[in-house]
A and B are shown apart, each in its own frame.
Chain A
Amino acid sequence: MSRQNQPLLSARGISRSFGQNQVLFDIDLDLAPGEVHALLGENGAGKSTLVRILSGYLSPTSGDVCLEGEVRRYRNSGEAEADGVVMIHQELALAGQLSVEENIFLGRELRRGPFLDRRAMRERASETLAELETRVDPRARVKDLSTSAQQMVEIAKAITRDVRVLIMDEPTAALTEHEVGVLFELIARLRKRGVAILYISHKLREIEQIADRVTVLRDGRLIDSGPMAGRSKEEMARLMVGREIRDMYPERTTLESDAPVVLEARDMVVPGAVKHASFTLRRGEVLGFGGVVGAGRTALIEALLGLRERRQGQVLRNGQPVVLRHLRDAVGQRIAYLTEDRKGKGLVLNMGLRPNLTLLNLRAYCHPLIDRRQEEQAFQEAIERFDIRLRTEALTASELSGGNQQKLLLAKVMTIDPEIVIINEPTRGIDVGTKHQIYHFVRELTDAGCSVILISSEMSELIGLSHRVAVMCAGVLTGVLEGEQINEQEIIQYASGIKGVGVDEQRRA
């Protein structure tokens, strides 16, 4: 390493244990100024723990964090930030009731004498937001913003600081394609300014695009570290998982030509979200739902399930009209729904794993008192079937890694033995290995005669799994693509409203 490329922030022999459980083993990592360093690894590989140590949220059990070769012992994140080491969280850490500008300057408000200098703060907030090309009003309350806008605010908050080292934990998980583009431009500018960037993502394509160096962790150990140039996605995936991942997407189940329609939605209208959308789902089929975040996909599905108010629309199950007023009714029709927000809506985080598993179909375990033994048995079966890995005997759902939480959630919705499974963003923030398992599980479902609705923002997922892809744009279902039509270009054109039916034709369809 040349002299001027001396690392800005480095980890030296960092280990970390939680109780008996060691999650990091002797990690060395160097972040050089003007370099984007990607950190890769499966869920639970220790990435988050490592970056939390680097940014002062945790202290290492042994080893040192050095800034420009000097050992620093951060007691909290504030001390790290004072050194210019800033982390953008994967889980948004914003004060919902405060405005955007108040959030951006939270804890380091600009002052004029004893009073807040609101004008200066607003100006700087506006500048930063303009730089990010977001149309967020600095005076808007954060809780009223969409998830992607909140993520942009989080980024704005980080870059208004004097940042020398920027750590980003899955910053693009909740962003739209356009926002991702803007973020990458921003990263390029920061890199030119000599900021050292540590970038965590599961999206290998992104990493291929922006990273200069890459480090791979597996089971808390450093597997590989080196320049990005000359590495392929396949190689990185193999290093992360420790085995070759072949056929990421399994072959689709062959649809019988006379497969009956098991679910039909007609003329669904959700105020402010969905305009006159209709679709059908056949037995054994995977129907994908594409579109940008906020296009109304989730609103449409949740209105169908009785989780949201709808103004009009009819739902038919096996050709018969059904009234679904509450998710309970949908469960009665053997429709299972896997929410995209596994922490906010999917799992009771401070509850044990077994109660979480059985919560959706608890009735089946009551005679009339809850049968703990039956619950335990179901849990052991779920661990087996869904390959839920318990490195330690986790007590509550919050202690599981993201991928294992997703598997537990999947196991939970499968307790109702559904015929239709609706999966919303099943692989958000999930590692390659778990993704692979989930894709194969979808195949198993359709093989068994179940139908699947797959809402996803990952284009390759939609293309790889779906028999047909319904695309939405601004509340309108612009088209349903089939066969050869299912490709990236078509989906983007329908998702952006360039192609497909408009509002008026949609009404007829």
Chain B
Amino acid sequence: MNSVVPDNKPIGRSRFSVDLKTWGPFIALVALAVLGVLINPAFLGLDNLSNMLTRSAFIGIIAIGATFVITAGGLDLSVGSMAAFIAGVMIILMNSLVEQFGAGLTTIFLGVGASVLLGLCAGFINGVVTTKGKIEAFIVTLGTMGIYRSLVTYLADGGTLSLDWGVRDIYRPVYYGSLLGIPVPVLVFLVVAVAGYILLNHTRFGRYCFAIGSSEKVAEYSAISVDRIKTLTYMLQGLCVALATIIYVPRLGSASGATGVLWELEAIAAVIIGGTVLKGGHGRIWGTVVGAIMLTMIGNILNLTDAISNYLNGTVQGIIIIVAVYLQRASWRKSAP
């Protein structure tokens, strides 16, 4: 027999706790923004805002992919190295295509296409090894993280891979350009976020991610192809990494062994700050978007003030991550997808 109430859970379901849970990340974001304005009125300047959003786009796009992986009970530590590797291959490919097609759009399209393909493949490998090999995602992606990192270092021969200057001029607008006054990376971020939101909350795939993350057994007994859905989440993650890389390459026009270092942790941090549960079963795209913006905002605010050294960026981020999760923990079980 069971009582009608849940076991070992906080009792009562006040409106307030639910609202805090849903709106917590947004409230924190607003609070940070207010702090930013108080420190330096230039914070709310259009230049600063658009600069900040543009910078958060990389981590944000990757984190949206990570939201799916984590919601379905997985984890991908390889995204940073994967980004560096994809960037490296993309640059080498485009440089060699210049001889044949010249520094034109064809070269860039082929490079972009290769990037997407590579991302999907890398995700597929992570997914298949995790599901078919029955190895924990942490271990598999820790392995591939090392592999991609060393591969890019090898490709660059320990140095830096630089994109052909001719290609660079044409490719430049993808990072530096804007449409209707909105920087291209921000637009891509927005499109990916909206698509991710619909996918996670309004499609079968998303619903299955929730179910699998909550209980793989129940999912299996509900006729869900658990392995296939999980593999798809890693492929989606790979696609997001590829998209982020496509925007990232024109920014510096180079890739090296130091590209994308610690991106995986920033992406996971953004996901967690946003209220997605690390052990799976519950995910929120808008939370992730807010989380990614918050992480960039912290760095930005520290840049605008002399009160705290910019070198303490990591410290402030760390504190915010822990506090955010602490605030959410008490109530996350309450909500249903």
Contacts and interface: CB of A to CB of B under 8 A. Distances in A.
Interface of A: 18-19, 21, 23, 41, 43-49, 52, 90, 169-170, 200, 202, 307, 326-328, 330-331, 337, 339, 341, 344-352, 355, 359-360, 362-363, 366, 368-370, 391-392, 394-396, 398-402, 405, 412, 429, 431
Given A355-B207, A395-B335, A395-B336, 18 more contacts: A23-B3, A202-B1, A326-B223, A327-B223, A339-B221, A344-B218, A350-B281, A359-B222, A360-B223, A362-B207, A366-B204, A369-B202, A370-B207, A395-B13, A396-B333, A401-B2, A401-B3, A402-B1
Contacts of A330: 223
B11 A18 contact: yes
B1 A351 contact: no
A49 B225 contact: no
Contacts of B337: 351-352, 355
Contacts, number: 135
Given A351-B211, A362-B207, A370-B204, A44 B2 contact: yes
A41 B204 contact: no
Nearest to B216: A345
Contacts of A359: 207, 211, 222, 224
Given A355-B336, A395-B334, A46 B214 contact: no
A350 B337 CA distance: 9
Q: Identify which of B4, B214, B224, B334 gathers the most chain A CB atoms within 10 Å of its CB.
A: B4
Nearest to A393: B13
B211 A45 contact: no
19 contacts: A23-B3, A48-B2, A49-B3, A170-B1, A328-B225, A330-B223, A345-B217, A346-B221, A348-B214, A350-B282, A351-B281, A355-B337, A359-B224, A366-B203, A370-B207, A394-B4, A395-B334, A396-B336, A401-B4
Nearest to A169: B1
A57 to B, nearest CB: 8
Nearest to A363: B204
A25 to B, nearest CB: 14
B198 A200 contact: no
Contacts of A348: 210-211, 214-215, 218-219, 281
B3 A351 contact: no
B287 to A, nearest CB: 17
B220 to A, nearest CB: 7
B179 interface: no
Interface in B1-51: 1-7, 11-13
Nearest to B202: A369
Contacts of A352: 336-337
Interface string B219-259: 11111110000000000000000000000000000000000
A349 B214 contact: yes
Interface in B268-312: 281-282
Which secondary structure dominates chain B's binding surface?
Answer: loop
Given A344-B215, A350-B214, A370-B207, A90 B13 contact: no
Nearest to B226: A326
A345 B218 contact: yes
A372 B15 CA distance: 23
Given A345-B218, A348-B215, A396 B6 contact: yes
What 4 pairs between A and B have smallest CB-CB spacing?
A352-B336, A49-B3, A19-B12, A18-B5
Given A328-B225, A347-B218, A395-B334, A429 B1 contact: yes
Contact of B215 (A169, A349, A355): A349
Nearest to B334: A395
Nearest to A348: B214
B5 A23 contact: yes
A47 B1 CA distance: 7
Contacts of A19: 11-13
Nearest to B281: A350
A346 B336 CA distance: 17
A431 B1 CA distance: 8
Contact of A350 (B3, B225, B333): B333
Contact of A351 (B214, B223, B334): B214
Nearest to A371: B202
A392 B13 CA distance: 12
Nearest to A328: B223
Contacts of A200: 1
B280 to A, nearest CB: 10
Most buried by B among A90, A359, A369, A395: A359
A329 to B, nearest CB: 9
Nearest to A362: B204
Contacts of A23: 3-5
A242 B204 CA distance: 43
A46 B149 CA distance: 58
B184 to A, nearest CB: 28
Contacts of A391: 4
The residue in A21, A90, A345, A400 that gathers the most chain B C-beta atoms within 10 A of its C-beta is: A345
B134 to A, nearest CB: 14
Contacts of A331: 223
Nearest to A24: B3
Contacts of A48: 1-3
B203 A351 contact: no
Nearest to B9: A398
Contacts of A169: 1
A348 B208 CA distance: 11
Nearest to A39: B1
Interface string B183-218: 000000000000000100011100110110011011
A48 B4 CA distance: 10
Contacts of B6: 396, 398-399
B202 to A, nearest CB: 4
Given A331-B223, A395-B13, A90 B210 contact: no
Interface in B311-337: 333-337
A331 B1 CA distance: 30
Contacts of B219: 348
Nearest to A396: B336
Contacts of B218: 344-348
A330 B223 CA distance: 9
Contact of B1 (A43, A350, A369): A43
B4 A400 contact: yes
Contact of B203 (A18, A369, A398, A401): A369
Nearest to A332: B223
A326 B11 CA distance: 40
Contact of B220 (A18, A327, A355): A327
Given A327-B223, A355-B207, A362-B204, A392 B215 contact: no
B220 A307 contact: yes
A188 B13 CA distance: 44
Given A344-B218, A347-B218, A368 B336 contact: no
A349 B219 CA distance: 12
A347 B2 CA distance: 15
A326 B207 CA distance: 20
Contacts of A21: 4-5
B221 A337 contact: yes
B1 A401 contact: yes
A262 to B, nearest CB: 20
A276 to B, nearest CB: 26
Listed residue (A47, A362, A429) with the most chain B CB atoms within 10 angstroms of its CB: A362
B108 to A, nearest CB: 32
A405 B3 CA distance: 12
